[in-house]
Structure 1
Amino acid sequence: MTASCSSRKASPYRSESPFSSRCFVGILLVALLLLLPISSDACGEPPKFETMQLQGVPKPSYSPGDRIYYECRPGYQPKRRPLPISALCQDDNMWSLLQEECTRKQCPNLGDPTNGQVQYTNGSILFGSQVHYVCNDGYFLIGTSILYCDISESTVNWSDHPPICEKIKCKPPEKILNGKYTNSHKDIFEYGEVVTYSCDASSGTDQYSLVGESSLTCIESDKWSSDPPQCKVVKCVYPYVENGMIVSGLGQKFYYKATIVYRCNEGFKLNGSNIIVCSANSTWEPEIPTCIKESTTPSTQPPISSASVSTPPSSQPPIPSVSDSKPTHPTMTLGSSHPAEARDKRKRGRALAWADCTQGPSVALLTKVTSYL
């Protein structure tokens, strides 16, 4: 279809445009005709499927009577054999109905590994599925733990070789200075096996304390449950508290994890924790408390004698006197023992002592002097 515009004789009274209006209308009509749909005797693009693909190279157009053939995509196989999978371009320019005719291929069966299990994520071994391998307690996995059913050349197969489960074993744990562990003669320790550390006897005046976990367990291949402990001297200073007393944990030396419980004398209140522990760095945790005087009205009760037994020890020789001793508690039962404070006859100072109640609730007999103040 063509459009032509004949030239007209130009008027001597007006200028003529390069294209006349009649020419412009003709071109517009041609363009509109080209935009109108053109009916043809042909089918549209061949239908597409998830499991199938068109055989060969598609044609530019298909006429009624043309037949196209499909094949299964990689990883799939026909549901029925040996019928060809095809579609026909019909007289109404529509393709004949065609459904998915392929199904997923299946990977080889997998068995449980020795000392392990295989878990199917979707309960099948079809193309696209995956399996997870896990080992029993006491065993560790060597290889790939997750396998996929994937395309392998013209068929499907697992993405890797199945893994194996090996028994967990540990090398001997570390040796420690001034200590040892049980079964140290062994070269290999099995999963779950436990070794226990202990400290040697000290050659000095202070004993060794075991700081850390005393027992270690083989939990993974060459991995123990924690780092080995240490054997070292841990000794805290005497936890003296002015205007207070130790009611539990009194001793001459205070080693690792020694625990002290305090109580303040009457008229004083505790500032801090009443329980402290000797920590691994030879300091008390929390800090040693203090006893501060209470700002209250005087009590109408008669005064109760109470001696502090938390005074630091002295190097003076003990020369105690039974008559000069006094109990640290207002009442003592017959046969009981209590910390007491004593003075010697030479006025050399005070001493920490143990008083035994021997003649009733008020008379005490000094039986042992522990140290001088």
Structure 2
Amino acid sequence: MNRGFAGSGTYIEKGHRLAGRQVFPLYSGEMTASCATRTFPRCHESPFSSWSFVGILLVVQVLLLPTSSDACDDPPRFQSMKLKGASQATYNPGDKIEYECRPGYMRIVPLLTTTAVCQADNTWAPLQEACTRKPCPQLGDPLNGRVNGTFLFGSQAHFVCNEGFQLVGPEILHCDLAGNSVAWDNEPPYCEKILCKPPRQIPNGKYTNSHKDTFEYNEVVIYSCNPSSGPDEYSLVGESELICSGFDTWSSDPPECKVVKCPYPALENGKFVSGFGKKFYYRATVVLQCYSGYYLKGNDTIVCGADNMWEPKVPECIKESISPSTKLPTSSHSVSVPTSTQPTISSVSGVKPTTAPPVSRLPDHPSTSEPPSEVLGGWIIAVIVIFSLIFITLLCCGFAFLIRKKKREREGSASYSTYQNKSTTPEQTH
């Protein structure tokens, strides 16, 4: 048996081959030698690689499909029409569909086509609304009223009454479905004349037309009080006139007839301006005023209210207080105060104060000092008078000067004439 050496002490018999990358010839025969086998890491196939490849193929197939189909879209929808029968899954060119009116609608006259065809370009042939709303029964205006709105399916009718009448029944009717037809959802209302029952009688009073059983809309009743049997008269407290403003509805509650008497509004240190009297009944009005040296705290006008009290309450007259700055300074010397409006103080010793004592103005008292505006006005008047006198004097002087000038001219003219006469006399003697 022939053997060969393959390296690293490995003998290989002839006719056998080891895993390796190269065959070497030996001394006799052929032998296959191989290096020591090395182990390398194996690459495991990802489970996602095959699926990714399949997905890519599907996407490519979808993209390669034709973009247009050979069928029409779903049938068009209309407000007044619906598809007759069941809808198909697909509609091929040449297929026809039929429409019918929806409930509450009817065919338009002249009749329009209700058939649509799937065309060769996979679109539906144009189709118009072929139905219109059904009308509800015609409603007439109620007596003493009117109705507004339309009478078609889905609309409303509004009822209104004339002044002096009120609506009895529903104000609005709706035109709704009634089986295969349409009808109003309620009975039409009517207008009834507004009447009021007699108003309530009041103690110690009465109202006009009290003999009537009913009062019409806007009719007026007037309340008044009966004469009082006592020393004080009755006062009408509340609204004297009531108006029938609605069905059995008056404009306000009836008034009251009762004695309302307020106490005498005594005002200490004050007096009445208006509203003089010994008794003060409901709504009596008094105007008050305080004496000089007092000011009014509260309202000067008061009214006798329904609760026998003055509204607002009777005011007070408060004595005016003089601030310390208004007091004249005291001195051990005798001081005389002149009676002039400008308070000056003179001392027996001859010493005069540099300034007059301040005097504050009290409420409702005239100021003792002359206002600056009055002083300024006096100076202006004086200046105007002086300038007027100067102007008149200058005018008179000018006039006198003109008179003297004319007089001198006349005298000069006369003397010249005399001289001329004297000069001509000797010649005439010769």
Q: TM-score, normalised by structure 1?
A: 0.70
Structure 1: stretches of 5+ with no match in the other structure: 1-10, 302-373
- 1:27 deviates by 4.7
Q: What secondary structure, in the 3-state scheme, does the structure 2 residue paired with 1:29 have?
A: helix
Q: Distance in 2 between matches of 1:150 and 1:138?
A: 32
* Aligned: 1:227 with 2:256: no
Distance 1:180 1:52 in 2: 71
Q: Give the alignment partner of residue 56 of structure 1, picking from 75, 81, 85.
A: 85
C-alpha separation in 1, matches of 2:157 and 2:268: 71
- Deviation of 1:141 after TM superposition, in Å, equals 0.5
d(CA) in 1 for partners of 2:125, 2:319: 104
Distance in 2, matches of 1:188 and 1:72, equals 56
Which deviations, in whole Å up to 9, do the C-alpha atoms of 1:202-258 show, x marking residues without a partner? Answer: 333222211101111111011100011112221111101111111211111111101
- Distance (Å, rounded) in 2 between the aligned partners of 1:250 and 1:100: 88
Contact 1:69 1:84 survives alignment (8 Å): no
* 1:148-163 superposed matches below 5 A: 148-163=174-189
Which residue is equivalent to 2:49? Answer: 21
- Return the match for 1:249 from 275, 279, 284: 275
Q: Which residue of 2 aligns with 1:264?
A: 290
Native 8 Å contact 2:288 2:301 kept in 1: yes
Deviations 1:331-356 (A, max 9, x none): xxxxxxxxxxxxxxxxxxxxxxxxxx
**Structure 1 residues 317-338: Cα deviation after superposition (integer angstroms, max 9, x where no partner):** xxxxxxxxxxxxxxxxxxxxxx
State the Cα distance separating 1:20 from its structure 2 match.
7.3
SS in 1 for 2:53: helix
Shift of 1:158: 2.6
C-alpha separation in 1, matches of 2:303 and 2:50: 111
Instruction: Please name the residue that 2:303 is paired with.
Output: 277
Question: Mean alpha-carbon deviation: is it higher for 15-24 or for 242-251?
Answer: 15-24
User: 1:196 deviation in Å?
Assistant: 1.7
Report the counterpart of residue 30 of structure 1 in structure 2.
58
CA distance in 2, matches of 1:12, 1:129: 89
Distance 1:264 1:236 in 2: 21
Distance in 2 between the 1:24 and 1:199 partners?
108
- Structure 1 residues 137, 92: CA separation in 2 closer, same or farther (over 3 Å shift)? same
Q: If each structure's strand is expressed as a fraction of its own residues, which one has the higher value?
A: 1
State the alpha-carbon separation in 1 of the partners of residues 70 and 278 from structure 2.
113
**Which residue number in structure 2 is paired with residue 177 of structure 1?**
203
Instruction: Please state if 1:115 is matched with 2:141.
Output: no
Structure 1 window deviating more from structure 2 (187-196 vs 278-287): it is 187-196
Structure 2 CA distance for aligned equivalents of residues 12 and 51 of structure 1 = 79
2:168 counterpart residue number: 142
Question: Is the aligned partner of 1:200 residue 2:226?
Answer: yes
Matches for 1:218-367 after TM superposition, within 5 Å: 218-295=244-321
1:236–1:20 CA distance, 2 compared to 1 (3 A): closer
> Where does residue 95 of structure 1 map in the other structure?
124
Q: 1:182-208 CA distances to partner (integer Å, 9 max, x unpaired)?
A: 232332222122222222333332222
Q: Give secondary structure in 1 for the equivalent of 2:273.
A: strand
Task: Give the whole-Å Cα distance in 2 for the aligned partners of 1:194 and 1:25.
Answer: 100
Identity %: 56
CA, structure 1 residues 54+284, in 2 after alignment: closer, same or farther (shift >3 Å)? same
CA distance in 2, matches of 1:57, 1:195: 74
* Aligned equivalents of 1:273, 1:217: Cα separation in 2: 36
Question: Residues 202 and 82 of structure 1: is their aligned pair in 2 closer, same or farther, counting only changes over 3 Å?
Answer: same
| Cα distance in structure 1, aligned partners of 2:303 and 2:285 | 5
Counterpart residue number, 1:75: 104
| Alpha carbons 2:112, 2:130 under 8 Å: kept | no
Q: Write the letter of the residue equivalent to 1:102.
A: C
When normalised by structure 2's length, the TM-score is 0.61
Matched, 1:104 2:133: yes
Separation (CA, whole Å) in 2 of partners of 1:225 and 1:213:
9
Alpha-carbon distance in structure 1 between the residues aligned to 2:301 and 2:142:
56
How many angstroms apart in 1 are the aligned matches of 2:81 and 2:64? 36
- What is the Cα-based RMSD across aligned positions, in Å? 2.8
Distance in 2 separating the partners of 1:252 and 1:24: 117
Look up the SS of the partner of 2:244 in the other structure.
strand
* Residue 164 (structure 1) aligns with: 190
Give the greater-gyration-radius structure (CA): 2
Q: Tell me if the contact between 2:113 and 2:127 (Cα under 8 Å) persists in the aligned partners.
A: no
Deviation of the 1:159 alpha carbon = 2.7
Q: What are the superposed Cα offsets for residues 112-135 of structure 1, whole Å, 9 maximum, x if unpaired?
A: 111111223xxx433333222111
**Long gaps (5+) in structure 2:** 1-38, 328-338, 341-430
Cα 1:23/1:161, change in 2 over 3 Å: closer
Give me the whole-angstrom Cα distance separating, in 2, the residues matched to 1:23 and 1:255.
110
Quickly say closer, same or farther: Cα 1:140–1:21, change in 2 above 3 A.
closer
Specify the SS of the correspondent of 2:157. strand
SS in 1 for 2:61: helix
By how many angstroms is 1:98 displaced? 1.3
